[in-house]
Amino acid sequence: MTILVTGGAGFIGSNFVLDWLAHSEEAVVNLDKLTYAGNLESLASLQGDPRHIFVRGDIGDRSLVDRLLIEHHPRAVINFAAESHVDRSIHGPEDFIQTNIVGTFHLLEAVRGYYNALPATEKSSFRFLHVSTDEVYGSLTPEAPPFTEENPYEPNSPYSASKAASDHLVRAYHHTYGLPVLTTNCSNNYGPYHFPEKMIPLMIVNALAGKHLPVYGDGMQVRDWLYVKDHCSAIRRVLEDGRLGETYNVGGWNEKPNIEVVKTICKLLDQYRPRSDGKSYADQITYVSDRPGHDQRYAIDARKIERELNWKPSETFESGITKTVRWYLENTEWVRHVQSGTYRDWIKKQYS
């Protein structure tokens, strides 16, 4: 038995591949384009493992995807492949349209052709699982209830709009063509192997380098934080027992303002890697101009997945952020290798 994972060298995808192979002997065909955030070093522990078959390529390459489906005959496709950074989507939305919308379309078309050719016995067990985001729901006011699966889509950035479009395509392929799909919409992930353009790893890396810790606006934007390994376990449960055509919101039940997250990271670094001058890393916090269209609050109501699939997160924010900070302190070589010239140019452009 085999599964096909797209985007399996990115942050969430690589964690999922590692998690999957830690729990299963079932092989993974890992298709990733290896753009700036795709990093095979995250999968270095799988080198020589015959259960991990890596293929460099684009989900929009129909002939390649067709060949992989025929050659490896997967029983499921899990789609992580996406451009995912809001700030980058504001500066250059075209890549997000091409990957998240057009790429998902080509992937769905390939999978539809493959699924239609399967014997009836294999059709009944085949699944296409699409991994999405809570950002498709838009922004919440401070007093509003968390997002449920029934919330209307109100995306506010080119990134979230492109993910919303891909979600609609996946839904349409189920209702129009009978493709056995599942969709998950997750809250903000954090944990090991996170490319240091996103807030939590950026703060850790900048703090250790003695740089400013850039916080947008007043830092009171609220996010629900989900430890990435909890997210991986949720995807496994949805793949195993989720109802066809359904959406499952996956959250950590950890709403935190951004500034509180940054100060928590500083306190942990003060404990585990104190500054040589005895001062707190919090002294490096610098408030910068807010980004355009910045959503004020996201929050996930994850009761459906708990009720139907008996899943809930294992980590509190306190336990997860401690594990995350310690991981970055213990894996400085990984961090150093991902800090390419392209990465440094981006940080300079975004936070100047």
- Beta carbons within 10 angstroms of residue 336's beta carbon: 9
Active site residue 159: yes
The one catalytic residue among 83, 87, 134, 167:
134
Burial 100-118 (b: 16+ CB within 10 A, else e): bbbbbbbbbbbbbebbeee
Q: Could you give the maximum distance between any two Cα atoms of the chain, in Å?
A: 68
127-133 and 181-186 as β-strands: parallel, antiparallel, unpaired?
parallel
d(CA 143, CA 135): 18
> Whose CA is closest to 86, among 195, 189, 183, 161?
161
Q: Strands across the sheet with 181-186, in order?
A: 52-56, 27-32, 2-6, 76-79, 127-133, 181-186, 247-250
Active site residue 150: no
Active site residue 135: yes
d(CA 189, CA 200): 10
The one catalytic residue among 135, 230, 255, 301:
135
d(CA 17, CA 28): 7
d(CA 316, CA 318): 5
Residue 244 backbone phi and psi in degrees, to 5? -60, 140
The one catalytic residue among 114, 159, 281, 328:
159
Q: Which residues are catalytic?
A: 134-135, 159
